[in-house]
Structure 1
Amino acid sequence: MPDEWFRPDDEEPGPDEPCPAESVEDTPDSEDPPSRHGGSEESPISSTTSGSIRVLTDETGPSVVVGHALATGASASAHRRHFPIWILVVAAALVVGLVLGTFITQSRDSTGAARVPPRALAPAPTSTADMPYQGRVKAISGVRATASCVSDPAVDSQHELVRYDAKFVVDDKPQTAWRCNGSGEGQQITFTLTHPARIVGVGMINGYAKVFGNVDLYPQYRRVRTVRWTMPDGTWFNQDFTDDDQDFQKIMIPPHTVSGDITLTIIATTQPGLVGEPTRDSVLISSVQLYEAS
């Protein structure tokens, strides 16, 4: 898993190459089997986290679960100016406290008074507002999706046209998918909610979770390894994915009220599963879910 922050490339991506036909050898002429991902958006979903959130650190500090976008311009300069001053103030307060404590202790000892051991400080309570949600969840319905890159339609071995529009990541059908030629790194999918919602987690199938006949297409293409989720107010978090896991990989976050668009940016993907076959040099995402409390 990458250890560095994603930083957008200064170069503009070139135009997408046309997507060759989607072909699968030795495939019987039969319809696709039923989806292996059961359940509907109305059914409660376990909030068990299966993906992972990384703690990232930069000049603006760490991002813990939900962080903030990097400060730029004057705000970043001001942050860098004030940060050492706060350190000096805190350090000075600690030194003064230590000197006064030592002086008071020595003064009491000189009078022969019994020494009273200091009472241990209790740890500061953790705010529940900062804790990831742990209850039952359900997928938010009616979400719309658009993407910065979409591969051209392809024809499968049964001569049927296969499309890869962004809407297929929110259709609750893992056998359909969004697709972008190449690595897809830096490409974005924007999710629009029909009404304000309190987001408690996200889930994603990070590849092409389609079995065509007796052929599993998931390992043949690129799979997503890391994405960044950015909320309308600029807060964000990175999600890492386990390769070779075709189920929804979910992470829970502290409840976050959202009114506007949520953006998914692809940071890293795997190499194509079939090296040397240009038709497989594409990244696909089968499904995305945004969760609210059930």
Structure 2
Amino acid sequence: MVQRVPDEYFRARAAESDDVGPQQPPRWMPQSSAVRSVAPGRVREGVAWRPLVVTLVLAVAISFVLGRAFLFPPIPRVQPPQPTTAPSATVTPTALPRSTPEQAASVVRVVTATGACLEDTGEPVVSALVDGDASTIWRCPGDGAGEAIDFGFGRKVQLIGVRLVNGNTAWPDRYLAERQITRIRWTFPDGSFFEQGLAVNGRGPQEVRFPPVRTNGARLEVVSATPPGEEGERVDAVSISLLEFLGPS
């Protein structure tokens, strides 16, 4: 026996149409588009400007560094020379000789004394100079410059000094009135000489010492004198009241 399917199974439903097939499920769509929108100001003619600027800055910096390293190497700084301290010279003080008592002296005898005043008065005054008596004087008129006397000892003697009294002490009223010698020169036969300065207004003996000289004679010459203490021709003169040569005792 043949069974048939009821016809109602093949009738069209009210919600269906002949030209519309059964509803298909919707296709899957991505949640967002794969294309990202870009703001118009960020793209200019198709090239991004920020990476380009960074690249240029790096290129300039690298060029500067390489140029300094190869084309313009750093100039080494020369240190100024340090001053060297020279060794200081050590000065060794020279030992000074110890002071010793003044050598004792004795009077050397004069054998001859010659010499006239430039204005010769005819008076034998030279012998009075070496007689050892301060009350007798050698005296010449004028300022005394150039007056000279030669002394002889009769043999070789050793001299270490001279002693004299300057001025006219034989006539007490004439000492301050007349001239007084301020400098004399002593000359010896070998050509050596020295000058002796004399104090004025001192009636006592004046003594000068010098290195030992061995000689048989000496010459005295007046170099300068003071002006007279008073006016008048009678006080215009130079005088020595006493003269002694000294030798070692």
Q: TM-score normalised to the size of structure 1?
A: 0.50
- Cα 1:133–1:222, aligned 2, differ >3 Å: closer, same or farther? farther
> Would you say 1:236 and 2:236 are equivalent positions?
no
Tell me what 1:279 maps to.
Answer: 234
> Would you say 1:266 and 2:222 are equivalent positions?
yes
> Would you say 1:203 and 2:203 are equivalent positions?
no
3-state SS, counterpart of residue 279 of structure 1: helix
Alpha-carbon distance in 2 for matches of 1:188, 1:247: 23
Instruction: State the Cα RMSD in Å.
Output: 3.0
Residue 164 of structure 1 and its aligned partner are, at CA, apart by: 5.0
Tell me what 2:112 maps to.
Answer: 144
Tell me what 2:210 maps to.
Answer: 253
- Aligned pair count reads 166
User: For structure 2, which runs of at least 5 residues remain unmatched after alignment?
Assistant: 1-83
Map of 1:24-63 to 2, 5 A cutoff?
Answer: none
3-state SS, counterpart of residue 128 of structure 2: helix
Residue 133 of structure 1 and its aligned partner are, at CA, apart by: 9.1
- Contact kept, 8 Å, 2:110 with 2:151, in 1: the verdict is no
3-state SS, counterpart of residue 216 of structure 1: helix
Deviation string, structure 1 residues 92-130 (Cα, Å, up to 9, x no partner) = xxxxxxxxxxxxxx7xx9xxxxxxx778343456799xx
Alpha-carbon distance in 2 for matches of 1:220, 1:152: 20
- Cα 1:176–1:186, aligned 2, differ >3 Å: closer, same or farther? same
One-letter identity of the residue aligned with 1:246: R
Deviation string, structure 1 residues 64-111 (Cα, Å, up to 9, x no partner) = xxxxxxxxxxxxxxxxxxxxxxxxxxxxxxxxxxxxxxxxxx7xx9xx
- Which of the residues 119, 124, 138 maps onto 1:178? 138
> Would you say 1:223 and 2:180 are equivalent positions?
yes
Q: TM-score normalised to the size of structure 2?
A: 0.59
- Cα 1:241–1:222, aligned 2, differ >3 Å: closer, same or farther? same
- Contact kept, 8 Å, 1:133 with 1:253, in 2: the verdict is no
> Highest CA radius of gyration, 1 or 2?
2
Alpha-carbon distance in 2 for matches of 1:164, 1:243: 26
- Contact kept, 8 Å, 1:132 with 1:252, in 2: the verdict is no
- Cα 1:165–1:133, aligned 2, differ >3 Å: closer, same or farther? farther
Residue 137 of structure 1 and its aligned partner are, at CA, apart by: 0.6
- Cα 1:152–1:223, aligned 2, differ >3 Å: closer, same or farther? same
- Contact kept, 8 Å, 1:132 with 1:200, in 2: the verdict is no
- Contact kept, 8 Å, 1:132 with 1:254, in 2: the verdict is no
Deviation string, structure 1 residues 163-182 (Cα, Å, up to 9, x no partner) = 45211110011111111111
- Contact kept, 8 Å, 2:107 with 2:246, in 1: the verdict is yes
3-state SS, counterpart of residue 273 of structure 1: coil
One-letter identity of the residue aligned with 1:240: G
Map of 1:69-218 to 2, 5 A cutoff?
Answer: 120-123=90-93, 134-149=102-117, 151-152=120-121, 163-211=123-171, 215-218=172-175
Residue 216 of structure 1 and its aligned partner are, at CA, apart by: 3.2
Alpha-carbon distance in 2 for matches of 1:137, 1:244: 26
Residue 272 of structure 1 and its aligned partner are, at CA, apart by: 1.5
Identity percentage over the alignment?
27
